[in-house]
Amino acid sequence: MLIGEVVKRTGFSRDTIRFYEKKGLLIVGRTDSEWNNYKDYDDQALRRLMLIKKCKGFGFTLNEIANILELVDEENATCNIVTARVENKLSEIDHKIEELIQLKKLIRERFTSLEKACGPNRKHKSNCVGLTNVSTF
């Protein structure tokens, strides 16, 4: 099938599919035609793209997806291994959430100090004193 059909079936854009090819996540042959040199996406390519889509849904990065695809190709993507990868991803997300909560607290504290430095009259015609006065942090 041609790339347009693959786009319809997967929901990926042409550019995304070509990017996956460029990164080596997808290998596609060419059609045997004397008039054109179109790529021929077979059912295996379609299944691989759907697997990539499923992995993206779990939040895996392209490098992680490449590693999972290797395991699949070697028939070593056991339920235990995949479960461990998903659990690890969940732990990473929990860690990032904690980091973002801490960052939010820090920004809120700095914003409070910025508001205090600016005072009640914030319509200065020059630069924000809360920002430009380095002693406010």
Q: 35 pLDDT band (50/70/90 cuts)?
A: low
* Mean pLDDT, residues 58-65: 95
Predicted confidence (pLDDT) at residue 84 exceeds the cutoff of 90: yes
Residue with tokens 């790529």: 39
* Mean pLDDT, residues 83-96: 97
3-state secondary structure of 127: coil
* Mean pLDDT, residues 50-78: 96
The pLDDT value given to residue 124: 63
Instruction: Report CA torsion sign: 42, 43, 44, 50.
Output: positive
Predicted confidence (pLDDT) at residue 7 exceeds the cutoff of 80: yes
Average pLDDT, the chain: 88
* Mean pLDDT, residues 28-50: 80
The pLDDT value given to residue 119: 72
**Other residues' Cβ atoms within 10 Å of the Cβ of residue 66:** 16
Helix (H) or strand (E) holding 52: helix 43-57
